[in-house]
Amino acid sequence: MAEAEPATPAAPRIRAARRYRRRLRSRIILSFVLLGMFLSAFIAAATFYIQNRVENRVIADTLVKNNNLYADGFYRDPDAVGVAFEKIQGRMFSVDRLDRVPPEWRDLPNGVHELVAPDDPDRVYKLAVRKDQNYWFFLAYGIAEERESENRLRTALIFLVAILSLLSLVVGWWSASRVMSPVSELASRLSRSGGSTSPEALAPHFPDDEVGELAKALDDYASRLTEVVQRDREFNADVSHELRTPLAVIKGAVELLLSRPELDEKTKSRLLRIQRAEQQCTDLISALLLLSRNERGHGSTDVARIAEQLFDAHRTQIGTRPLALHLVGKLGQVVVDAPEAAVNVALGNLIGNAVKYTQQGDVVVRLLDDAVEVIDSGPGLSAEDAARLFERGYRGSHAEHSQGGGIGLSIVRRLCALYDWSVRVVPGKEKGVVATLTFRPDRGSGAT
C-alpha cells in the first residue's frame, strides 16, 4: 500500500536532533558512571587482594619460622619446649603416640594450612606443620581477628565503590550539562530560525571552538540553501508568469474561433481539445506555483464537477477502446476548500493513470464522504509498484509503451502534503487498481 499525506521536513530533523542530544548526554553520563564504578571497583578489589595476600604470606612465613624454631629448640633442650605465646600455640607429638594428634591435623602435609575448629566454627586459625622422622611439630595461630578485619575492609570497600559511583554520576551529569549546553543552545537557535526565509546568523553567538566551527558551517549551509530556494522560487514565478501570457493568448484565440458559426464539427472538436489542454496547463502551472511557494490557496471546489470535466477531456483519448467512464455521485456531494487547479491536478493524475492503463472495461469515479475513489479494471498493481508508486521519476511495470516522466503521482503526493490530504493506491479485489483521494486529514494514515 502506498500513501501520501502532509509532512513537515523541519520537524523530523528537530526531533531527531533532540533525540541525538539526549543520547549523547546519556552516553557522557554513562561513561563517567562506568569509569568511576569500574575504576573504584578495580582499586578496591586490588587493595583487598593485595592486603589479603600480604597478610597471609606474613602469617605463613611467621608460622613456619616459629615452628622451625620450636622444633630446633626441642631438639636442643626438650625440657624447655612448651612456652605458650599469645594467639600462638605449639604442640609436639612423638611418632609412637600419633593417636594423640587431633584428627583434622593427622593427614596434613608439611606447610601452612587454614582450618576451622570443629567445636567452634568462629575459631579460624592457621596451622604450620612439620613432620620429622621421630616427631611431628604443629604451630597454630588464631586469625579470627584478621578475618573480622577483612570483612570490615570488604564492607568499607563496597561502600567506597558505591559512593565513588554516585560521585561519578553527579560529575558526569554536571560535565554532560556543561559539554552539551552550547550544542543545546545551537539546536534551539537553529529550530527558532527554521521558519524564517532569512535565518539568523548563528556563529556570532558562540565562541571560537568546535561548536563555533559547527555554527559557521551551518551558517554557510543555510546561506547556500537559502540562495538555492530563492532562485528556485524566482524561477518558478518567472516561468509561471511567462507561460501564462501565451496560454492567455491561446485561450482568447480558441474562444474567438469557437464563436464563429461556420465551424464544422471536426474543427470544433479540435478547438475544444485545444481549450481543454490550455485549461490543464493553466491548472498545472497554478498548482506548481502553489507548491513552490508552499502556500495554500482557498476556494470552494465541487469534486463531482471536476470529475465530469476530466471525463470529458479523457474521452478523446479512449479512441476505439471498449472503455466506459462512470461517475457515481452527484454535484455538491463533496466540496473542498482548495482552488480548482489543485483538485484538478490531483484528481486528474489519478483518472489519467486509470484511463491510460485500462485497455477495456470501466473506470469508475465514486464520491464518498470527504473522499473520492478512482476504480479501474486494468492490469493491476505489483508489489514493487505499490512500494515505489509515489517516487519521483518512477514508472510502473506497465508503463513501457506509454508516455510520461513518472512525476504525476509525485506531484499528487506533494499537493496532499500541502493541503493535509491523503492519497492511497492499492490493488483491486479481483483486478485493477483502487486509488483513494481523501480530503480530510484524519482519514489518512501515513506518508510514503
Cell of 272: 475544444
Contact indicator for 258, 275 with CB cutoff of 8 Å: yes
Q: How far apart are CA 379 and CA 361, in angstroms?
A: 11
Tell me what pLDDT residue 94 has.
87
Residue 92, strand partner residues? 137
Grid cell, residue 110, equals 608439611
pLDDT (0 to 100) of residue 382: 72
Predicted local distance difference test score (pLDDT) of residue 243: 72
Could you list the pLDDT tens digit for every one of the 448 residues in the chain?
344 443 444 445 445 545 545 566 676 777 777 777 777 777 777 777 777 776 777 677 777 777 777 777 777 777 655 544 446 777 888 888 888 888 888 889 998 888 888 877 777 888 888 988 888 888 888 777 777 777 777 787 788 778 877 887 777 777 777 777 777 777 777 777 766 666 677 777 777 777 777 778 877 877 787 777 777 777 767 666 677 778 778 878 888 888 888 888 788 778 877 877 777 777 777 777 777 777 777 888 888 888 888 888 777 777 778 888 888 888 888 898 888 888 888 888 888 888 888 888 888 999 988 899 998 888 877 767 776 777 776 665 555 545 544 677 888 888 888 888 988 888 877 788 888 999 875 443 333 3
Q: Answer yes or no: are the C-beta atoms of 440 and 6 closer than 8 Å.
A: no
Q: What is the CATH number of domain 296-448?
A: 3.30.565.10
How many other C-beta atoms lie within 10 A of the C-beta of residue 337? 12
Going by DSSP bridges, is the β-strand pair 323-328/361-368 parallel, antiparallel, or unpaired? parallel
Query: Domain 197-295 belongs to what architecture?
Result: Orthogonal Bundle (1.10)
H or E, element range at 273:
helix 265-293
Residue-level pLDDT at 85 = 46
Strand order in the sheet with 135-142: 88-94, 135-142, 124-131, 111-116
Domain residue ranges in the chain:
9-192, 197-295, 296-448
Q: Is the CB of residue 371 less than 8 Å from the CB of residue 326?
A: no
Q: Which residue has the cell 568511576?
A: 36
| pLDDT of amino acid 15 | 54
Angle (CA) 431-434-438 rounded to 5° is: 170
Kindly give, in sequence order, each residue whose CB lies less than 8 Å from that of residue 239, ignoring residues fewer than 6 positions away.
285
What does the pLDDT read at residue 109?
Answer: 92
pLDDT at 447: 39
